[in-house]
Structure 1
Amino acid sequence: MKRKFNYYLLILPLLALFSSCSRDVFDEYYARPDYLENPIYQRLDELGNFKNFRTLIEKAGYKDILSKSGYWTMFAPNDEAFAAYFQEKGISDVTKIDDVTAAKIVRYALVYNAFREDQLSDYQSSQGWVLDNAFRRRTAFYDGYQNKIVNGTPMVVVDANRNGGYFFADNNNKYVTYFTDEYFTAKNLSSFDFNYFYSGKEYTGFNLFDGSVKQADIIAENGIIHEVNKVVLPPLSIAQYLEEDNAKGANSKYSEFYKMLEEHLVTYQFNETVSASYKNFTGKSDDVYIKFYNSGLAFSPNSENYLKEMDNDGQSDAFTMIAPSNAALEPFVRDVLLKHYPSVDKLPLYVFQDFFNAHMVQNAVWPSIAASYTNGLDEDLRFDFNANIIDKKILSNGFFYGSDIVQKSNLFYSVYTSAYLDPAFTLATRLYNSTEIKQMISNIRNKYVLFLPSDTLLRSLGYNYDINSSQWVYTNPATGLSVSGGAASSRLYRILYNSIVATPNGELDNIRTTSGIIRSGDLDFPGEYLKWNNGKISTAGTEAMGNVINIVGAADVQQNGVTYYIDNIFEFTDRPQGLEIKELAEAPGSQFSSFFNYLKNSTVYNTTTGAIRGVSLGTSYTFIVPNNDAITQAVRDGVLPGTPSTGVPNYTPTFLPDIDKIADFISYHILVNATASDDGLVTGQFETLRKDGLGEKTYIQIQSSPGTLVFKSITDSDSSANYIKASSNNLADRSLIHLVDNYIKFSE
């Protein structure tokens, strides 16, 4: 019997041979290239002058991480840097650095992603690289959980990592700051900006804080090393800097500023998600609280992120806080904030928000161009950076300046302040704050007079704010009928807006001893006219009601004007202007009578209500009323119906063309959307109520200057009318009624 040959015995050695050959080819193809540099840790070993830093890497537990693949930038302090550090700290060698400090130094030197020197000045925006627009990078260091005593209670706290909020996937990593020629050139900065923070240090064109980069762009397999001559510990955030300063007790510079911020604009909120993460990380079951700053602030001083409008926007900008010293803040609180309040804790929340926003900037404020920045209230910075700054620090989330003065904010030195910082005027302040009035009257570049009604006065006249429903309410004292919401707030807005007068030349400084007429509101957004006479003020509404407004008490003089306190409000009237003209015409010997007789019998007048067709309440008008002699002349000229030879008017014609003549005549003497007086504020061509035969608008030319007011025809250069001052400037609903010495012609 033949034995069967086992071919597998022959195949197996061949397979082994082929397998060995394939493995060699595979290993050769995928082998680490000879030209590839070693990872960061090994490169530091090869370079030889990073022995101390390598020791800290090992102590911090980062040897394995930095010996593997990755994508890092390492700002590595050399042994020379550590020699200086040992001397500064009074220690003999690297063994005296504890594990916690070692981790801080290593992690803060480690930047996410690998950047060459020429890339560090560029900003990685969401839309792509922005050249020469960066001076910061996010590091691997973050504070995380912190044990604090808050109001006497031990707490585990994490800082908010967003302005007014918290984002759970973000560890609030600190940023490192560096200075490059490319960035400085692009931003028009210079060595002055570096030395402003680091006096006596050398600006080299590539600095890490006050240290310098000795050798840049050392390539490693897992990133890039920049050799620096400075050991850098993670800087404090703005919030931490203030907290550390406060802990100095009697030696603190900013404790009053810090306490005001912490006590009124900080909350600690328990968070279940963060507490669960803390338990998983530490095994401890403490509740964890997030420290939040009020969302009304320009930024959260404890947030290490920038605005986060884009993920990396912290590379290109940072926050700035300018904190007044105790010596500067204490008299400001006493003399300004507490002028009418008994204590700081009684101030409204918005006062704290505004005060701190006045000292916060959503940008890194470089000292050489400080005048180009605005604070959280959109004001220019009113500090002399060569004289007022007593402390300057570049911190992890921005710049900190200590100042020997308080920001002279508009809100604390304007007529707005009179209401804003006085609890007797909260209703007026509430309305100001919800409208553009606040910005207008707090502008210290423009001069105003503010007539200010108290809460007691407004409530006695039916105005109030319902906290429960968050809306304004007005109850008519005479009828008891109430309106709320927009109807009530619009009514009060009109009253309070008319209580503001732009006075660029101090026109009302002597209001108690002079008389006149003046337009309320801003110069660009006019209100209505009011009259004054030896400290008594009248409006169209008060005249209609038979009332007057008196100035009471002493005036409050502010940087941009004067506040007068009043015993009545600047009422407006709902009476049609036709009734005002009727009242003027019915006075004995009135020069308005002939015009009104044509008006009351015309097709444009409602004898029941006094309304004039085409004239709407709440709209601005100017009524040009020719006197009796001018009406007689219009009859003689055939412009108005009557007997031309004698000038006797025919107020009730039956012939249709004569009826139309009257309507046209009246309409042409009413200007629409303009209230003109003899103050020079309204000049030029303005639309009338009359339409021509084709239905097109018609116009009249106004010439106005202090003491003169002339109306001219656009179609007849010889036709003009001068106002008669003694009988003009009569108040009506958003209107003035003038008596003039001629009628104005219109030719088709």
Structure 2
Amino acid sequence: MRSFANIMLIRYVFSLSVLSFLFSGCAKLEDQDKYQNPDWLKGKLFTQISANENLSVFASLLEYTGYDTVLDLTGSFTVFAPDNQAFETWLSAHPEFGGDISNLPLKEAEAMVQYHILQNRWSRKQLQSLDIQGWINRDVPGRDKPYGYKRQTIFQNPDQKYWINQTAGNIITIVDSTRSNDYRTVYSASRKYMPLFFTEYFEINDLNTSDYDFYFNRSFDGNAIFIANAKSMQDEIPAENGFIYIVDQVINPPLNAEEYMEIDHSGTSSSDFLEMIYGLGPNFRYNEIATLDQPEALAGGTFDSLFNLSYPLLPFNVHEERTGSNTNDPNLTVRYQNGLLVPTNQALDQLIDDVITGDPHWPVWSDVPNEVRRIIVKAHMSESPIYRTNIQEGFLNGSDDKITLDESEIRETYYGSNASILLLDAAIVPRAFTSITGPVYLRPGFETMLYAIEYSQILPGLKRAEENYAFFVPSDEFMQEDSSLLLIWADREHTSYSFRVLENEAVRGVGRSELTQRIMNQVATSTSTGMARREFIENLANNFLVFDNELQTVTGGMKNTWGYGGDSGIHVEPVLFEEPTDNGQAYRFDGWFTTPKRTIWQVISGYSGFRQLIDDAGLSDPRYFRFNFLKEGEFYTIFIPTDEALANSGADTMSIPDLQQFIKGHFIRGKRIWTDGSVPGGDFETLRINEDAIEIGDRFSRLSIETGYDYIRILDKDHNLYYHIEEIPGTTNIMIATQKGSGPLDYKITGVVHSIDTVLHKALESR
């Protein structure tokens, strides 16, 4: 057995042997060329910067801030180093520093250094080869274009304190300290990003290089890359721990959208617009991890709770450095940038005075609902950067309105860290205010419809440009009196509400689908021409409104009633709102349109003689209340002969095949033809089979029809008059409905019946 002393001696000798081998091995490795720095690699970042006489001012700035040590000892960085001429130009523009960069306050100097440094090393090729999924691959469609044009700097804002006012209902708005009753400290989750511009970026985004000049007031050079306002012509200078790019300008401070609005620009302020944003439901969510990770918390000292701030009702968060649809994913930020149109205080005041307030609109600004304020803010936001090309061609704002701008109204352009920013001398007027919905959003007394539109999310369809709608808007007063739609507030402060209706002496809830149908039923797809006695105009719910130009009334095909689904008829005349609307006309209309619900089975069954012939021909199925030669939901125009006309036609003596042909000749497929001339005349396909047809397109017999105001004319083969149908209420234009669902409004007008004093088989046979 070995002694403990012997074992220890053996271990000691073995250890010396290993150390001797390792040291000798290291010496040999150092002698190998592949482990030597190449001759052209002249040292670490600061060493190389300080050795370049043309970068002496930047080198002194690094020494002043202590970043000389950082760049020569730790990490991997990319440095954009302004040359001496760049600093001379910058100091001339900032005479307050007396021409000496060392006169900058230390905090400002540190910030300047930090936004000239990117995290990680980026070669010139790599700066132009990134997207959200990583490096692009030219051979893989969808991953072959360098949309990723932003890079993260090492500059990060400190956590920020926001003064707030919190109501008893826990509604929070951000205010100045003099009006606050509490505060929140918001966690700064990300460093700032800097935009990089290169030729391919403009090409793949369908932009022009003049779009660069629009923001940075200098021409774009296709042989260079630009870091914000600074140009780098030379290739990267490699260092042991990164790359250096010499640039010709000091990079402008990368303010985010919130920071931009906090300070004056071009002699004017935009603080009122920022205050409007602060009042639109800022959400502070406690961040436990960030809170407990603070040095004070780790040391057991006193510390603030940290929160994440967001604006759920807006397209993006003005303070947030990360961009894209998910700000928790930093990869999206390299590609995506927001856009902000900032009205000056004067421009915003003019919008409020000229459009929002004053008779007949909201009396004062404090009366204006948050929904209206939110629309104003969203109209000035975009989830994409806004370039000159976009301004000229039109772009979508945060409300999905297509916007074009007059450049003369742009006071200033600025490319921020999270948004491109245009300072405007004229505010954007949202389409919600200029379209047929304008009176609803701008007038008191239509709050129920305002919130119904918001709840149903139908606003984008109602404000669509290049339409010619007619919108019939019930007032709050009317709906409260007959209980046809009641806005019930659960919590007004938190904008929590629902809708109820009094139906058959019982109150029930109204869901989003039904509410949407009710609103769409109130919107005709075109305005009345006034030419026919009665016009039949389709609405957005695919039903029809009947404009009686003699009585100056509008109905949904049935009489307007008092109360929802009531049986007491009321006479309602629409009153045109005085506001100009750019996509149609809006009317005050104290009534809801009622759509007929009689199916094709029910309507045809009301014509006993014609229905009997259908039964005799074997074309009906009474068990399922259907006609087996018709398709459910297809459009039809049906000409039904009177009983006398049928008796004189000899139809009761026809064979079954001939009778079927006879009946089908009175049905036009695929069209709803009214007596108002809205459907152009022509040859229309019936359901009658053309047994002599040679061409496939001639399989069905066609009926020649001429349409006009208040009539339909059926023509023979020589286009001579065969039969004239005059518009007569109760005889012509009888609507047929098809039930599309189980809801009370799930009926669509799919057919129309005209009663005639003749039969049509001779008109068809003559063709």
Closer, same or farther in 2 for the Cα pair 1:46/1:373, shift >3 Å? same
Q: Per the alignment, in what secondary structure is the counterpart of residue 406 of structure 1?
A: coil
Q: Is the 8 A contact 1:69 1:221 kept in 2?
A: no
Closer, same or farther in 2 for the Cα pair 1:737/1:327, shift >3 Å? same
Q: Offset at 1:301?
A: 1.4
> How many Å separate the matches in 2 of 1:515 and 1:682?
17
Task: Please state if 1:559 is matched with 2:582.
Answer: yes
Closer, same or farther in 2 for the Cα pair 1:441/1:375, shift >3 Å? same
1:63 maps to 68
Moved more, 399-408 or 306-315: 306-315
2:322 maps to 305
Task: Please state if 1:442 is matched with 2:442.
Answer: no
1:724 maps to 726
1:530 maps to 546
1:641 maps to 652
Closer, same or farther in 2 for the Cα pair 1:16/1:227, shift >3 Å? closer
Closer, same or farther in 2 for the Cα pair 1:455/1:732, shift >3 Å? farther
1:109 maps to 116
2:418 to 387, 397, 402: 397
1:42 to 47, 69, 76: 47
> How many Å separate the matches in 2 of 1:191 and 1:731?
59
Q: Per the alignment, in what secondary structure is the counterpart of residue 141 of structure 1?
A: coil
Q: Offset at 1:186?
A: 4.8
> How many Å separate the matches in 2 of 1:492 and 1:618?
23
Task: Please state if 1:121 is matched with 2:128.
Answer: yes
Closer, same or farther in 2 for the Cα pair 1:200/1:40, shift >3 Å? closer
> How many Å separate the matches in 1 of 2:451 and 2:104?
57
Q: Is the 8 A contact 2:395 2:404 kept in 1?
A: no
Q: Is the 8 A contact 1:158 1:289 kept in 2?
A: yes
Q: Per the alignment, in what secondary structure is the counterpart of residue 543 of structure 2?
A: strand
Q: Offset at 1:356?
A: 1.9
The amino acid that maps onto 2:725 is: Y
1:570 maps to 593
Closer, same or farther in 2 for the Cα pair 1:95/1:407, shift >3 Å? closer
> How many Å separate the matches in 2 of 1:395 and 1:195?
15
Residues 48-77 of structure 1, C-alpha deviation per residue, up to 9 Å, x if partnerless?
Answer: 333333333344343343224643211112
> How many Å separate the matches in 1 of 2:573 and 2:338?
46
Q: Is the 8 A contact 1:451 1:500 kept in 2?
A: yes
2:428 maps to 407
Task: Please state if 1:335 is matched with 2:354.
Answer: yes
Q: Offset at 1:226?
A: 0.5
Residues 242-274 of structure 1, C-alpha deviation per residue, up to 9 Å, x if partnerless?
Answer: 12239x9xx643233222122224344554433
| Equivalent residue runs for 1:414-425 within 5 Å | 414-425=435-446
> How many Å separate the matches in 2 of 1:722 and 1:436?
46
% identical equivalent positions: 19
Residues 694-733 of structure 1, C-alpha deviation per residue, up to 9 Å, x if partnerless?
Answer: xxx978657464435456999x999976533344224454
2:485 to 454, 458, 463: 463
Residues 141-198 of structure 1, C-alpha deviation per residue, up to 9 Å, x if partnerless?
Answer: 11031245453247463367xxxxxxxxxx3211123433443455455553333234
| Equivalent residue runs for 1:145-164 within 5 Å | 145-150=159-164, 151=175, 152=177, 153=180, 155=183, 157-158=185-186
Q: Per the alignment, in what secondary structure is the counterpart of residue 287 of structure 1?
A: coil
Closer, same or farther in 2 for the Cα pair 1:401/1:72, shift >3 Å? same
Moved more, 229-238 or 57-66: 57-66
The amino acid that maps onto 2:522 is: S
Q: Offset at 1:582?
A: 8.1
> How many Å separate the matches in 1 of 2:243 and 2:292?
37
Q: Is the 8 A contact 2:344 2:423 kept in 1?
A: yes
1:194 maps to 212
Q: Per the alignment, in what secondary structure is the counterpart of residue 342 of structure 1?
A: coil
| Equivalent residue runs for 1:613-652 within 5 Å | 621-627=636-642, 630-635=645-650, 640-641=651-652
Q: Offset at 1:237?
A: 0.5
Closer, same or farther in 2 for the Cα pair 1:304/1:632, shift >3 Å? same
Closer, same or farther in 2 for the Cα pair 1:76/1:252, shift >3 Å? same
Closer, same or farther in 2 for the Cα pair 1:430/1:325, shift >3 Å? same
Residues 389-448 of structure 1, C-alpha deviation per residue, up to 9 Å, x if partnerless?
Answer: 111111111211012222243211011222233343333334434557433321131111
1:168 maps to none
Q: Offset at 1:550?
A: 1.7
> How many Å separate the matches in 2 of 1:254 and 1:282?
41
| Equivalent residue runs for 1:351-370 within 5 Å | 351-370=372-391
Q: Offset at 1:321?
A: 0.5
2:558 to 541, 545, 548: 541
Q: Is the 8 A contact 1:265 1:353 kept in 2?
A: no
1:98 maps to 105
Q: Is the 8 A contact 2:214 2:387 kept in 1?
A: no
> How many Å separate the matches in 2 of 1:328 and 1:175?
30
1:295 maps to 312
1:27 to 25, 30, 36: 30
1:376 to 372, 381, 398: 398
Q: Is the 8 A contact 2:163 2:183 kept in 1?
A: yes
2:277 maps to 261
Q: Offset at 1:108?
A: 1.0
> How many Å separate the matches in 2 of 1:11 and 1:618?
94
> How many Å separate the matches in 2 of 1:402 and 1:7?
81
Q: Is the 8 A contact 1:449 1:561 kept in 2?
A: yes
The amino acid that maps onto 1:157 is: T
> How many Å separate the matches in 2 of 1:56 and 1:302?
29
Q: Is the 8 A contact 2:149 2:335 kept in 1?
A: yes
Q: Is the 8 A contact 1:578 1:605 kept in 2?
A: no
Closer, same or farther in 2 for the Cα pair 1:741/1:123, shift >3 Å? farther
The TM-score, its normalising length taken from structure 2, stands at: 0.76
Q: Is the 8 A contact 2:539 2:545 kept in 1?
A: no
The amino acid that maps onto 2:113 is: V
> How many Å separate the matches in 2 of 1:182 and 1:121?
8
Q: Is the 8 A contact 2:499 2:509 kept in 1?
A: yes
Task: Please state if 1:677 is matched with 2:674.
Answer: yes
1:590 maps to none
Q: Per the alignment, in what secondary structure is the counterpart of residue 415 of structure 1?
A: coil
Closer, same or farther in 2 for the Cα pair 1:424/1:416, shift >3 Å? same
Q: Which runs of 5+ in 2 are unaligned?
A: 1-8, 137-143, 165-174, 491-495, 562-566, 692-698, 738-748
Q: Offset at 1:214?
A: 5.7
The TM-score, its normalising length taken from structure 1, stands at: 0.78
> How many Å separate the matches in 2 of 1:483 and 1:606?
37
1:588 maps to none
> How many Å separate the matches in 1 of 2:200 and 2:37?
34
Q: Is the 8 A contact 2:640 2:755 kept in 1?
A: yes
Task: Please state if 1:496 is matched with 2:524.
Answer: no
> How many Å separate the matches in 2 of 1:105 and 1:355?
35
Q: Offset at 1:107?
A: 1.5
> How many Å separate the matches in 2 of 1:421 and 1:127?
48
Closer, same or farther in 2 for the Cα pair 1:125/1:462, shift >3 Å? closer
> How many Å separate the matches in 2 of 1:392 and 1:178?
17
Q: Is the 8 A contact 1:724 1:738 kept in 2?
A: no
> How many Å separate the matches in 2 of 1:517 and 1:16?
102
> How many Å separate the matches in 1 of 2:466 and 2:572?
28
Q: Offset at 1:109?
A: 1.0
> How many Å separate the matches in 2 of 1:240 and 1:187?
27
Closer, same or farther in 2 for the Cα pair 1:127/1:624, shift >3 Å? farther
Moved more, 352-361 or 218-227: 352-361
Residues 600-642 of structure 1, C-alpha deviation per residue, up to 9 Å, x if partnerless?
Answer: 9998899999x7757899986533222466424522xxxx116
The amino acid that maps onto 1:263 is: G
Q: Per the alignment, in what secondary structure is the counterpart of residue 400 of structure 1?
A: strand
CA RMSD of aligned residues (A): 4.5
Task: Please state if 1:141 is matched with 2:155.
Answer: yes
Q: Which runs of 5+ in 1 are unaligned?
A: 1-5, 161-170, 586-592, 645-656
Task: Please state if 1:183 is matched with 2:183.
Answer: no
